[in-house]
Structure 1
Amino acid sequence: MIGCLLLLTAVGLAAGIPAARALNRATWPEREPVLGLWVWQCLVATALLSCLTALVLGLAAVFRTVRDALFDSAPPGVLAAYGFSTAPAWATGLTLLLASGAAWTAAVLAGRVRAVRQTRAATRDRLRARAPELPVGLPAATSGPLLVLEDEYPDAWWLPGSPPQLVVTTGAMHRLTDRQLDAVLTHERGHARARHDWLLHLSAALAEAFPRVPLFTHFCEQTHRLVELAADDTAARHCGHVTTALALIELNQHRGVFSCASSRRALGDRVDRLLAPPPRLGRRKRALIAVAAALTPSLPLLITFAPGLDALD
């Protein structure tokens, strides 16, 4: 059990610091943003699973009731293989630390979910108030998949929820060509199909809960960047790279982003990337990265079950 706890702690620390920093410095996710998001999620899952499995083992070592519940139906010898009776005193401290971290994470995630639901409800109320009045007998404007708002300010966004809605202003419809408007709507649909909203909320919640952990801070930063690149690629595949770049410029030049250095740089990088698309990774390399990332979260599970499996031999 001591060896398992040490290995799980090492895996969690490796994923949380050096691996996260190495992935944050890597340039290939810009060429493959969808794959980059997948690798980041797998790395976060590895760290969280390492902490969770270490917590379970620690609880089993500290509390006999937990140990009996976990190993009640286990074959003879499996319980002895973990050596809970020889658990050192520091295992109790580590368990308390992990339990505190788990409780704090759950509280932050629950608060984020509650805040998201409240924000969405308030947004839908505002949209309902701004929606045009329709003749009696026609369905409400806010009930369809597409809502057009009378507003000279060019804007378009996807409003997640039930039902999800695509919102576009008349200012955007007047300012953009048909192809450019199609690119903007395709970009937003790309966010919706990939459920980028929940990925953004998750990364922001973890970064808020643990602001000094490189894994979660880099995960939040990279998620905000990569989801936009992934949606840009979706729009470019359907409407063309130049059309998408022009739509991006037209839709954002009145937002004030050009007065902010960081926003201007981020938007400029996206436009440059659309006008000069970087070469994609080879199919074999993409497959290897995806498989390796998918197998990474299984490492904490293998470490956790290794003593029990060894006792069954």
Structure 2
Amino acid sequence: MSAALILFAYAGLLAFAAPGLLSRGGWTARAPRLGIIAWQMAAFSLLVSAALIGFALVVPTVQVSADLANLFRACVMALRDQYATPGGAAAAAVGAVLALAVLARAAWCVTVSLAGALHGRARHRDVLTLVGVPAAHLGAVVVDSDEPAVHCLPGRRRRIVVTTGALRLLDDRQLAAALAHERAHLDQRHDLVLAWSGGLARAFPRVRLFTRAHAETVRLVELLADDVAARSADRLTLAEALLTLAGSRTPAAALGAGGSTAAERVRRLITPYPPLGHLRTALTSTGVAALLALPLLGLATPMAAAAHLHYCPPGTVAAAPTAR
């Protein structure tokens, strides 16, 4: 079987099976950091697989230098046979277009996602300069609004924004817990993770793994920020703050303590989930690592097979693809 077929089978299995497997049992709520990594690695593995399918189709038509010794010619032919595809030049052309299109589309949409977020935050900061009042004791900017809200603007000129409505309704402990939640978002740069997953979801909206990975990442970064905040604040106090802020609207370029996930987060804070456990954490981490390694193994399998042929001398496989 050619490398392209191996990668195609892997990509298809990953695209259809990964969302269900990663969602099974609700384990990500018990280990949100590991859950974020797992969803992102699954999406990245699918993206890499799609690109490598194209590169694998191109391999059979790559020209080999005529200056190589005759000793290597049989090895080169073995490699070409292992990677060979029935379509020949036509398949190689399709592969080149596929690989470049996948990578270009992903890069463009992730860049647009990042640029849009940066532009939105810049405009929001400009507004804060006009209407906000710095509160050094809070490490935040206070905005006059009856709506209780606490949110943050990530980036180099990061800000935490608190409305006067939130100051009226939250006591000191609840406010401290909400601020700790926002600082967790800023310190761990959750905006970059969301820009990446959102860019892939925008690039390939019909691929369920990408759209589901983004939705799960949006949920899990909030759970992770809650866990970080709970290290310095009582969990029930944080839950009370979330109930107060649950109905607040968060600007598109910001990350907020309230939002649509507040109900799940309150339940989770009131009744904490048991830890994932060392064994299951180790097994899940191994599976996440495999997601990154499997596409590369799929591409390398034909090369390894050629290396074991009788007429392919050891150490010559790596030298064979040298371009003219």
Q: TM-score, normalization: structure 1?
A: 0.82
1:82 Cα deviation after fit? 2.8
Query: Does the 8 Å CA contact 2:150/2:166 hold for their aligned counterparts?
Result: yes
Q: How many residues align?
A: 291
Q: Which residue of 1 aligns with 2:51?
A: 52
Query: Does the 8 Å CA contact 2:246/2:260 hold for their aligned counterparts?
Result: no
Q: Which residue of 2 aligns with 1:137?
A: none
1:159 Cα deviation after fit? 0.9
Change in Cα spacing, 1:113 to 1:268, as seen in structure 2 (3 Å) is closer
Alignment of 1:120-159 (within 5 A): 120-132=121-133, 141=134, 146-152=139-145, 153-159=147-153
Change in Cα spacing, 1:80 to 1:165, as seen in structure 2 (3 Å) is farther
1:81 Cα deviation after fit? 3.8
Alignment of 1:85-100 (within 5 A): 86-89=84-87, 91-92=91-92, 93-100=94-101
Q: Which residue of 2 aligns with 1:237?
A: 231
* Superposed CA offset, 1:203-258 (max 9, x none): 222112212111111101111111111111222232121001001011224659xx
- Partner SS state of residue 22, structure 1: helix
Do residues 221 (structure 1) and 219 (structure 2) align?
no
1:267 pairs, out of 262, 265, 282, with: 262
* Superposed CA offset, 1:157-186 (max 9, x none): 121111322222333233211111111111
* Structure 1 runs, 4 residues or longer, greater than 6 Å off: 142-145
Q: Distance in 2 between matches of 1:303 and 1:255?
A: 46
Change in Cα spacing, 1:124 to 1:265, as seen in structure 2 (3 Å) is closer
Q: Which residue of 1 aligns with 2:28?
A: 29
Q: Distance in 1 between matches of 2:148 and 2:79?
A: 62
Do residues 306 (structure 1) and 306 (structure 2) align?
no
Query: Does the 8 Å CA contact 1:9/1:50 hold for their aligned counterparts?
Result: yes
Change in Cα spacing, 1:273 to 1:56, as seen in structure 2 (3 Å) is same
Query: Does the 8 Å CA contact 1:34/1:230 hold for their aligned counterparts?
Result: yes
Do residues 165 (structure 1) and 176 (structure 2) align?
no
Q: Distance in 1 between matches of 2:293 and 2:51?
A: 13
* Superposed CA offset, 1:34-93 (max 9, x none): 1111111121121122122222223333554xx77xxx9xx9466434316843216333
Q: Distance in 1 between matches of 2:142 and 2:233?
A: 24
- Partner SS state of residue 231, structure 2: helix
Do residues 286 (structure 1) and 281 (structure 2) align?
yes
Q: Distance in 2 between matches of 1:8 and 1:81?
A: 20
Q: Distance in 2 between matches of 1:211 and 1:186?
A: 34
Q: Distance in 2 between matches of 1:193 and 1:10?
A: 39
Q: Distance in 2 between matches of 1:180 and 1:43?
A: 36
Q: Distance in 2 between matches of 1:242 and 1:86?
A: 62
- Partner SS state of residue 117, structure 1: helix
- Partner SS state of residue 27, structure 1: helix
What is the root-mean-square deviation in Å for CA atoms of aligned residues? 3.0
Q: Distance in 1 between matches of 2:262 and 2:296?
A: 41
Q: Distance in 2 between matches of 1:199 and 1:145?
A: 26
> Structure 1 residues 143-152 or 9-18, which shifts more?
143-152
> Structure 1 residues 220-229 or 98-107, which shifts more?
98-107
Q: TM-score, normalization: structure 2?
A: 0.79
Q: Distance in 2 between matches of 1:123 and 1:26?
A: 39
Q: Which residue of 2 aligns with 1:208?
A: 202
Alignment of 1:1-40 (within 5 A): 3-40=2-39
1:144 Cα deviation after fit? 11
Query: Does the 8 Å CA contact 1:154/1:172 hold for their aligned counterparts?
Result: yes
Change in Cα spacing, 1:255 to 1:50, as seen in structure 2 (3 Å) is closer
* Superposed CA offset, 1:107-162 (max 9, x none): 22222222122112211211112234xxxxxxxx5999933224143222121111
1:279 Cα deviation after fit? 1.2
Q: Of Structure 1 and Structure 2, which has the larger fraction of its residues in helix?
A: 1
* Superposed CA offset, 1:269-309 (max 9, x none): 22111111121211221122112212321111122223334
Change in Cα spacing, 1:220 to 1:150, as seen in structure 2 (3 Å) is closer
Do residues 83 (structure 1) and 84 (structure 2) align?
no
